[in-house]
Structure 1
Amino acid sequence: MRVARSLAGTVAVAQHTDKVKQAIWLAAGLVMVALGVIGAFLPLMPTTIFLIMAGWCFARSSPRLEAWLLNHPRFGGLLRDWRDYRAIPRRAKIAACAGMVLGFCLFWLGVHPAPLLAVAVAAGLAACGAYVVTRPGRP
């Protein structure tokens, strides 16, 4: 009898823990969607990476929201390409690299950074650009 109570208590704790994790993943996914929407309107903030992270969070919390993202008319194709093939279409690569160049130019003109900071930011953006460019294209 004691063993049955102990197992029941363990199952209840595990179910509660799973629900808490699911709620955390859901909240994180919603925050990522919000950041992605903001990024769609602000030229210096990325969109797709936040939506990729939202899809990852929704895969762990809400199949309905994951399906909504993957079937979205604007971003669904990009997200499915990334999920299935780790691929970035050529137009998206060009847009991403152009956005990084524009962002660096605005940073340079607006902040007037010290040379070391400018080099560090340029190196970080160059590394991100290299990563984007070396991903395969749409199959």
Structure 2
Amino acid sequence: MARILYLIGGIVALILGFIGAFLPVMPTVPFVILAAFCFARSNPKFEAWLLDHPHFGPHIHAWRRNGAIPRRGKLISSVMLAGSGVLGLIFVPMPWGAIPAAIAVISGTWIWSRPDA
């Protein structure tokens, strides 16, 4: 039963990653890394396909080796997080408007604490 749940989770994560490739506000690589995690526990063939993928494979390997995020990814995510935080402050009434800004600061801090890939 657990294998089926991991397989479903991997497929859902891969679909979300695919959507994220076309939507600028949604990440791609974290969902692909999650899919690889799920596929490692459910379908080694799908995991091998992701690990050998020319675009996503290096990101997955870097994450598995030492939890590294490429500097370009850190910069892009920081810009997106800052934009989301600012939009929250502008369009959401206080005190709720501070929540997106706080999430952006906390997430950005964690992202920049990871080593560079």
TM, length-normalised to structure 2: 0.91
Report if aligned partners of 1:39, 1:45 keep a CA contact under 8 Å in 2. yes
Where in structure 1 are there 5+ consecutive unaligned residues? Answer: 1-19
Where in structure 2 are there 5+ consecutive unaligned residues? Answer: none
CA shift, 1:99, in A, is 1.7
Q: Quick one: percent identity of the two aligned structures?
A: 39
Q: 1:89-100 to 2 correspondence within 5 Å?
A: 89-100=70-81
Runs (4+) of structure 1 exceeding 6 A deviation are none
The answer for the alignment partner of 2:94 in structure 1 is 115
C-alpha distance in structure 2 between counterparts of 1:47 and 1:117, whole Å: 27
Letter in 1 for 2:20: G
CA shift, 1:56, in A, is 0.8
Task: Report SS of the residue matched to 1:42.
Answer: coil
The answer for the alignment partner of 2:30 in structure 1 is 49
Segment drifting more, 67-76 vs 31-40: 67-76
Q: 1:75-114 to 2 correspondence within 5 Å?
A: 75-108=56-89, 112-114=91-93
Name the structure where helix makes up a greater proportion of residues: 1
Match of 2:49 among 54, 58, 68: 68
Larger radius of gyration: 1
Letter in 1 for 2:78: C
Q: 1:10-49 to 2 correspondence within 5 Å?
A: 20-49=1-30
TM, length-normalised to structure 1: 0.77
